[in-house]
Amino acid sequence: MMKNFLIATLAAAWSAAAFAAPELTVNEKKLAARPLTDYAALITPPEVPRAFDVHREGCPVCGDKIKKHGMYSWIIDEAKPFKLQCPECKTVFPDNDYAAYLQSGLKDQSLLTGKYVDDGRGWKDGDKPGKYWFVAYYNHWTLKRRIESLLPQLANAYVRTGDSAFAERALVMLDKLAEYYPRYDHNKQSRYAEEVAPRYTGRIVNAIWETGIAASVADSWRKVAPALDQETPALCAATGKDNAALRANIENNMLRVMADDIMSENGRIRGNFGMHQWALLKIAIALKGRGGEPDDQAMVRWVTDYRKNSTPSSAPFDYVLYNNIFGDGAPMESPGYNAGWLNCIAVMADMLRDYGINYAELHPFSKRLFTYPAKLVVCGVYSPSSGDSGNIRGRASYGGSINTLRYSFATNPCPESSSLLLTARGLAAEEREAAEKLADPLFGYRSNLLSAYGVASLQNENQEKPLAYWLSFGFYPGHKHFDALHLELFTGTGPLMPDFGYPDSASGDDPTRFAFYSNTLVHNTMVVDAKAQDARAGRILAYDPGNFAQYIRAEAPDVYPGMTKYERSGLVVEPTPGKLIVLDVFRAAGGKQHDLFFHSAGETVETNLELKPQSGGTLAGEKVEVGAFYDDPRYAGETKGPRNFSRYRGSGYQYLTNVRSGANRPGAVLTLPVSETAKLLESGKGTYLRMHPVAGDAETLILSEGPSPRTQRGAPGKVVFVTRRRVAGEGEENFKSSFATVLENGPGTLISSVEALKQTEESVVLKIKLDNGDTLYCFDAVAPQSEFKFDEVAFAGQSGAVLVGKDGKEKSSYSYGEKPAFKAKVAAMDLKGETLTLDSDIPAELAVKGAFFTVGQAAYRIGEVSGKTVKLLDQSPVRGLFRFESFDEQQRTGEVSPQLVLARGKLALYEADGKTWVGEAHSQSNAGRLRVELPAKVETGKDYLLSECSPGDEVTLVTSQRK
């Protein structure tokens, strides 16, 4: 009942425009006043090149100063065709009149005069690599806006008012576009293909953004095509075609070409997952019932049904939930790109309803896909930036557009979908009221775990004085940074040590993107042997949210080949409300140099350590200048021709300057204030991160500075980097480090001293004296310890904290792993039912909802327990759904489709029912192949499921005590 009411309300809100009075708006009057023939001239022919950027270094006059105005900030004024103005130095480029040159049919060379001359293919500055593509930049952004914004404005004005003047103007644009469309070839007509990626293609714009062009064209055509049912003399005069010829031109030369580009996968219209499917469904609906080859039914089937050799971005809709979405609901990319997945899937699910397909009912756990972004939120309004997403501020919600949030709420009204809907602006009063009734009062303040996507938060669940610890340990294939075991802390006024988020630019020819912004050093984690991490997943080993003290542990040894240990644990204590003390322990074994990085959110640092300045250069060395590719000869010299830095795996140390260093010592403290001048950071005055780097063996502490992304307006110009460095001695084998760091948040001091009572490879025990006279004992060990004592205080387990008052009495205590862990083996699984059946009963006192446990390489939380069977909490163990195209009995490997992008390592192969175990499978480096150990036979042409955990895997559940 509730649901029906909602859908009716939402439908009314969505179609409100249809009932509005047909009086013309100011904008509509302007559109109608412009002569019909003008609209044809708005579409430039294929011969005019396109470029989304002018030059990687910025402006010919003021250089990279332009970057502080944001990405794509050149000023375009359509009254001055093909001219660009620099927002920084105000210079206008080019000098020549390109419009006149275009009018001459690109023939009259006498028009190409001045200092900055651009004939469409850019102006060259002497020997400097790359050209400045002024005309192409103007053309790219102007044409894109005309098709994606002006054209829908006309089509919508026609739908709203019924005035054929708008339809005719849209049809003039569509007709001209269709005349040119088969000849648009981004590979031959763009800066990007000529200078950066020679095989890159598209049509008008690049293949990814062309999906937006196709969707806009199809949708606009659907809306204005009915105007051709009447006589249109003015339109015929303007285009020289009768209505039948117009229709044929637009449908055959453009819409069907677009459909063919998508369905043949020729690469000209192909976006991230969902983008081209969305466009194809728009084309299908625009051509509904028109027949032809392919017809609209075939287009729909291309989107939904099994197809051989489909790539991840084109995986059939029925397979995507299993192959491209993690079992915890997160899609396979960074959160910003994932929001695009949600938008596309919501829109597609909506469009597919027209074809009798009810996605939410067919795939009940698709609901989780739309609510997973709730688990990214910390301190109420922040979602830590990750990969190419967000910015240094971290204030974001990644649930998608308002209509996506509405779709999620309408199909799955629950506390998370309601709370996410309430983050949207522009809700109708009834919607807001309905959502508020269901919303989670602690939304954004709860501790959350996405164990497959690979992020976790520990929060104090206090809305007045929120605190959050955040750890990233997973790997996702799309737009990930090399950031395994990156740590962050948040308070109610924002991040204290934020990920930088989206890099300076998304361009492959931008050296800072790969060498710095997505590199390991720019994250709060460890760089081994001055190299970037490999793109491999880590896993979570312990997760225990709760009051007073909370615990987390994760490892990612595969990110550096040859490491036997690369592990981080966090004991997160809140001795008084709103004040955080974190015992952070990073253990590593292998390699020759361990550099543990922390960076702040501000320009300054105070320390009681005596540090000696390095005489110039960068962290890469005194002689290594800023930006020099000192550790990768492929990029060292300036070379001409296309440049792409995506394969750089060096240190990135050449971007850190003002280097100071010295020996770490007991009692060392660093205070790192959050910037008070950066507009993006809203932290109150005096907010800081304070670090107590508990001195270990032969350790150097280094301070330096690096730039935050310059295209993020309002970001601090630079931030402070802290590096704790240990280097193996000559000939030292099996080099190990164990860095213990105590972190606290300001304003207001809390810790007066930190003393290491014990510090070995096995364990660290700290005595932390607080300003109020209390003493906090913290410890962390590689494995559970039997009882031991310091200062008459008893400890046991793998990690723990004891808070002792001035009077010597224990106020609070916490221990993790004091009692022996519960162990069992997986006997059977039901993948679709999301249950595991163990070989023994789970003791009732352990069968607590939300309790964390590991299974083989995977980790889950308990939903419900009955006897030996555990229902997983809001998570599926599935990592793939596919068919074998062929199978080689000798090699025991088969070709599979769709590609298995999330299936890694050892997997369990199941029949499509999700209950019948078939055998043990192993992923191959090529996601299109799978090796199967057992059984004797697999069949081609039928569905199989893959699970990340297997029958026989060990289940481990560790408990904790809080007093």
Point out which residues bind Zn ion (CB under 5 A). 59, 61-62, 86, 88-89, 481, 499
Closer of 499 and 705 to Zn ion (Cβ): 499
Residues 312 and 273: beta-carbon distance below 8 Å:
yes
Of the two residues 646 and 916, which places its CB atom closer to Zn ion in the complex? 646
Q: Which residues contact 813 (CB under 8 A, 6 or more apart)?
A: 800, 801, 802, 803, 961, 962, 963
Q: How many whole angstroms separate alpha carbon 755 and alpha carbon 197?
A: 55
Least distance from C-beta 487 to Zn ion, angstroms?
12
Nearer to Zn ion, 61 or 234 (CB): 61
Residue 59 or 878 having the CB closest to Zn ion: 59
Give the other-Cβ count within 10 Å of 782's Cβ: 17
- Whose Cβ is closer to Zn ion: residue 516's or residue 860's? 516
CB of 567 to Zn ion, least distance (A): 20
Q: Quote the least distance from Cβ 519 to Zn ion, whole Å.
A: 9
- Select from 667, 690, 683 the least CA-distant residue to 756: 667
Closest CB to Zn ion among 60 and 212? 60
Smaller CB distance to Zn ion: residue 86 or 280? Answer: 86
Q: How far is the CB of 670 from Zn ion (least distance, A)?
A: 22
3-state secondary structure (DSSP) of residue 909: strand
Q: How far is CA 494 from the centre of its chain?
A: 19
Partnered with residue 471 across adjacent β-strands are 456, 487
22 upstream amide cis, omega within 30 of 0: no
Smallest distance from Zn ion to CB 634, Å? 23
Minimum CB distance to Zn ion smaller for 328 or for 499: 499
Evaluate whether 921 touches 933 at the Cβ level (below 8 Å): yes
Q: Which is nearer to Zn ion, 93 or 101 (CB)?
A: 93
Residue 853: CB minimum distance to Zn ion, A: 30
Residues 186-197 as b or e (16 or more Cβ within 10 Å = b): bbebbbbbbbbb
Q: Could you tell me what percentage of the chain is helix, strand and coil, using 3-state DSSP and rounding each to the nearest 5?
A: 30, 30, 45
* Terminal-residue alpha carbon distance, the chain: 46
Closer CB to Zn ion, 61 or 873, in the complex: 61
- Cα–Cα distance, 726 to 594 (Å, whole number): 5
Q: How far is the CB of 472 from Zn ion (least distance, A)?
A: 9
- Contact criterion met (CB below 8 Å) for 376 and 382: no
The token pair that represents 824 in the structure block: 């069992």
Beta bridge partners of 881: 945
Residue nearer to Zn ion on the CB measure, 706 or 817: 706
Residue 725 corresponds to which tokens in the numbers above?
């460095």
Residue 86 or residue 263: which is nearer to Zn ion going by CB?
86
Matching residue, tokens 């991230």? 272
Which residue lies nearer to Zn ion by CB, 394 or 590? 394
The distance of closest approach from Cβ of residue 423 to Zn ion in the complex, given in angstroms and rounded to an integer, is: 23
| Residue 857 structure tokens | 């390489």
We find the least distance from the C-beta atom of residue 478 to Zn ion, in angstroms, to be 14
Q: Name which of 282 and 481 has its Cβ closer to Zn ion.
A: 481
Spatial separation of the C-alpha atoms in residues 757 and 738, rounded to whole Å? 15
Shortest reach from residue 691's CB to Zn ion, in Å: 20
Residue 779 φ then ψ, to 5°: -145, 155
Of 59 and 250, which has the nearer Cβ to Zn ion?
A: 59
**Helices (H) then strands (E): counts for the chain:** 24, 42
Distances 450 to 62, 395, 453, 858 between C-alpha atoms, Å: 45, 19, 5, 11
- Considering the complex, state which of residue 88 and residue 333 has its C-beta at the smaller distance from Zn ion: 88
Q: CB 523 → Zn ion: shortest distance, Å?
A: 6
Positive or negative: CA dihedral 503, 506, 512, 514: positive
Asked if omega into 87 is within 30° of 0 (cis), the reply is no
Q: Which residues, listed in sequence order, are joined to residue 884 by a DSSP beta bridge?
A: 896, 940
Residue 73 or 576 having the CB closest to Zn ion: 73
Q: How far is the CB of 706 from Zn ion (least distance, A)?
A: 13
Q: Which is nearer to Zn ion, 445 or 475 (CB)?
A: 475
User: What is the identity of the amino acid at 136?
Assistant: A
Bridge partner list, 599: 721
> Which are the contacts of 655, defined by CB distance < 8 A and separation ≥ 6?
512, 515, 516, 618, 626, 627, 706, 707
SS3 211: helix
Decide if 59 contacts 90 (C-beta within 8 A): no
CB of 73 to Zn ion, least distance (A): 10
Cβ count near 913 (within 10 Å): 11
Residue 631 near residue 620 (C-beta atoms within 8 A): yes
Work out the number of other CB atoms within 10 angstroms of the CB of residue 811: 16
CB of 88 to Zn ion, least distance (A): 5
Burial status of residue 273 (CB atoms within 10 A of its CB: 0-12, 13-18, 19 or more): buried
Distance, in Å, from the CA atom of 921 to the CA atom of 939, rounded to the nearest integer, reads 14
Per the document, the length of the chain is 963
Q: How far is the CB of 868 from Zn ion (least distance, A)?
A: 42
Closest contact distance (angstroms) between CB of 563 and Zn ion is 21
759 neighbors 606 (Cβ within 8 angstroms): no
We find the least distance from the C-beta atom of residue 504 to Zn ion, in angstroms, to be 12
Are 369 and 345 in contact, with CB atoms under 8 Å apart? yes
Whether 602 and 672 have beta carbons less than 8 Å apart is answered as: yes
Q: Least distance to Zn ion from the beta carbon of 806, Å?
A: 43
